[in-house]
């Protein structure tokens, strides 16, 4: 019985397109999107000032209360830094331990900076799924002490040497260094374990205390991961080799949802990248195409706040939809990327989010997305401040995706 359940779980992961969900554009229900430029009280937002002082804060609050949960203010209690030359002299490697409380478990931040580039350098920052040591074969990367998932999806494993470099295809470190970028990453499970543990571990326990009272708008795991990304940025502000005004926050899948929310909540990020983020990320919830709100809340009850569960099969009751999350990146550049083989994440719904976020960019004097229908595969649209591409292939983040993110960064994130 157990092995049958395991087999089914593995099949679902391998094909990532569970049956019983809608993948047919003609069956998308009719819906009306909430207007990013209309306040809850009906006032139309017509100036950049109104957006900045009224509507933007209102939307951040709504996403906190209805989708991700509200995170507390945060700061680092202690930081320990180890610096060394790495990758045959190509990189300066920093292994930084971030402590959100003096006695909290460490959050390990791994940073590679191009050794030869003039400092300070711009950086891409993103979370990883299985431990920092999985992103590169570098033998010196610390192995996380937090629980990690194994290949069968079980989440209570200790990381070992066997995992070193196994996810390097997702982290083209040398390509980034070659183009003058630094790369920084944290294992998401160092911030908050990706299991429904009743918020007894990770930063929820460290900051709120174990068994803290939780309300419908208390922070879930995505909000905790996003909060952790902001703590990495706090550290960057103290490292003179890093251009903390030019940090792009990037993430794939659940960690792409996280990148979008991190960039929305923390305007210090200079650019936001959503790679195949799907439901609860860039995809419009009201389309209910592929993964639905109900399904995601059922499979991953710890990701969002409890209030979000009240929108199961009732997406239109939610005061926000995900195009407004993209709009919260404005006027900063935001890249939304999809993959042809990732219908579960609703590629067209991801595109439409970028499109319907664009009026906010325009109000702020920038062009948003410059296509009004989804472009053909492998034809990036990068002429405005919202970029989009549909990569041929499966749910993944690849060298192709990273090269496009670097292209866009070079075009759109000015040197200060």
Cα–Cα distance, 201 to 245 (Å, whole number): 32
Residue 390 beta carbon to ligand GTR: minimum distance, rounded to whole angstroms: 17
Q: For residue 192, state whether it binds ligand GTR (rule: CB under 6 A).
A: no
Q: Which residues in the 120-159 window bind ligand GTR by CB under 6 A?
A: none
Taking the complex as a whole, how short is the minimal distance between the CB of residue 296 and ligand GTR, in angstroms? 6
Helix (H) or strand (E) holding 273: strand 271-275
Buried b (16+ CB within 10 A) or exposed e, 189-207: bbbbbbbebebebbbbbbb
Question: Cα–Cα distance between 388 and 335 in angstroms, integer?
Answer: 6
d(CA 9, CA 298): 15
Nearest to 254 by CA among 5, 13, 6: 13
Taking the complex as a whole, the smallest distance from the CB of residue 331 to ligand GTR amounts, in Å, to 28
**Residue 279, interface with ligand GTR (CB under 6 A)?**
yes
- Closer residue to ligand GTR (CB): 396 or 407: 396
User: Can you read off the two tokens belonging to residue 141?
Assistant: 């990367």
> Which is nearer to ligand GTR, 13 or 47 (by Cβ)?
13
Task: Give the span between the Cα atoms of 90 and 78, in whole angstroms.
Answer: 29
Give the nearest distance from C-beta 6 to ligand GTR in angstroms: 15
Are the beta carbons of 263 and 332 closer than 8 angstroms?
Answer: yes
3-class SS of residue 104: coil
Nearer CB in complex with ligand GTR: 150/379: 150
- Output the smallest distance, CB 122 to ligand GTR, in A: 26
Place of tokens 């994440």: 345
* Residue placing its CB nearer to ligand GTR in the complex, 163 or 359: 163
Which of 218, 230, 253, 285 is flagged as catalytic? 253
Determine, following the binding rule CB under 6 A, whether residue 67 of this chain makes contact with ligand GTR: no
The answer to whether 254 contacts ligand GTR (rule: CB under 6 A) is: yes
Strand order through the sheet with 271-275: 78-86, 91-99, 107-114, 182-187, 121-128, 242-252, 271-275, 334-339, 386-391
Closest CB to ligand GTR among 91 and 283? 283
Q: Least separation, in Å, of the C-beta of 387 and ligand GTR?
A: 21
Q: How far is the CB of 369 from ligand GTR (least distance, A)?
A: 23
- Residues 33-62 as x/- pattern, contact with ligand GTR by CB under 6 A: ------------------------------
CA distance 151 to 154: 7
* Among positions 144, 239, 253, 285, the unique one binding ligand GTR when judged by CB under 6 A: 253
* Six-digit token string for 288: 């209910």
- Rank residues 225 and 408 by Cβ distance to ligand GTR and give the closer one: 225
- Residues facing 124 on adjacent strands: 183, 248
Percentages of the chain per state (helix, strand, coil), in multiples of 5: 35, 20, 45
Catalytic (active site) residue 196: no
> For the chain, how many residues are written?
416
Going residue by residue from 284 to 323, which x/- string records binding to ligand GTR, judged by CB under 6 A? -------x----x--x------------------------
**Which CB sits closer to ligand GTR, 6 or 38?**
6
> Which residue, among 327, 321, 333, has the nearest Cα to 246 in the 3D structure?
333
Number of residues in contact with ligand GTR under rule CB under 6 A = 7
Q: Is 395 a catalytic residue?
A: yes
| Tokens of residue 160, six digits | 């070992």
- Among candidate residues 66, 244, 302, 395, the one labeled active-site is 395
Contacts of 125 (CB under 8 A, 6+ apart): 184, 185, 229, 232, 233, 236, 247, 248, 249, 250
Contact between 258 and ligand GTR per CB under 6 A = no
Q: Which residue, 299 or 340, is less far from ligand GTR as judged by CB?
A: 299
Alpha-carbon separation of residue 204 from 104, 208, 335 (angstroms) = 11, 6, 30
* Least distance CB 253 / ligand GTR (angstroms): 3
Q: Which residues are catalytic?
A: 253, 395
Residues in touch with ligand GTR (CB under 6 A) = 253-254, 278-279, 291, 296, 299
């Amino acid at each position: 019985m157990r092995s049958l359940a395991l087999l089914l779980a593995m099949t679902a992961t391998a094909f990532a397109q569970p049956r019983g969900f809608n993948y047919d554009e003609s069956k998308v229900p009719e819906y009306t999107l909430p207007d990013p430029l209309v306040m809850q009280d009906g006032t139309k937002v017509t100036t950049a000032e109104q957006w900045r002082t009224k509507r933007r804060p209102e939307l951040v609050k709504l996403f906190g209360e209805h989708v991700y949960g509200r995170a507390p203010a945060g700061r680092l209690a202690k930081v320990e830094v180890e610096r060394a030359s790495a990758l045959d002299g190509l990189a300066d490697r920093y292994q930084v331990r971030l402590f959100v409380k003096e006695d909290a478990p460490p959050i390990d931040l791994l940073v590679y900076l191009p050794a030869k580039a003039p400092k300070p350098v711009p950086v891409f920052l993103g979370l990883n799924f299985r431990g920092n040591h999985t992103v590169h074969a570098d033998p010196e990367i610390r192995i996380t002490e937090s629980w990690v998932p194994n290949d069968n999806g079980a989440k209570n494993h200790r990381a070992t040497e066997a995992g070193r470099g196994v996810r390097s295809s997702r982290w083209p470190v040398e390509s980034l260094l070659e183009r003058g970028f630094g790369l920084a990453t944290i294992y998401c499970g160092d911030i908050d374990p990706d299991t429904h543990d009743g918020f007894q571990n990770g930063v929820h326990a460290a900051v709120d205390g174990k068994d803290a009272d939780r309300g419908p708008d208390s922070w879930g795991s995505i909000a905790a991961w996003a909060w952790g990304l902001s703590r990495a940025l706090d550290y960057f502000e103290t490292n003179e080799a890093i251009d903390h005004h030019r940090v792009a926050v990037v993430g794939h899948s659940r960690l792409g949802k996280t990148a979008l929310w991190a960039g929305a909540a923390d305007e210090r990020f200079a650019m936001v990248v959503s790679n195949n983020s799907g439901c609860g990320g860039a995809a419009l919830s009201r389309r209910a195409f592929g993964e639905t709100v109900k399904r995601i809340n059922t499979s991953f009850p710890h990701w969002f706040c409890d209030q979000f569960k009240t929108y199961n099969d009732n997406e239109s009751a939610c005061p926000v939809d995900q195009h407004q999350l993209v709009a919260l990146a404005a006027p900063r550049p935001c890249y939304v990327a999809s993959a042809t083989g990732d219908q579960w994440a609703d590629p067209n719904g991801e595109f439409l989010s970028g499109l319907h976020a664009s009026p906010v960019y325009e109000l702020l004097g920038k062009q948003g997305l410059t296509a009004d229908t989804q472009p053909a595969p492998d034809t990036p649209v990068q002429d405005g401040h919202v970029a989009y591409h549909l990569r041929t292939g499966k749910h993944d983040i690849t060298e192709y995706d990273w090269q496009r993110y670097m292209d866009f960064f070079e075009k759109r994130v000015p040197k200060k």
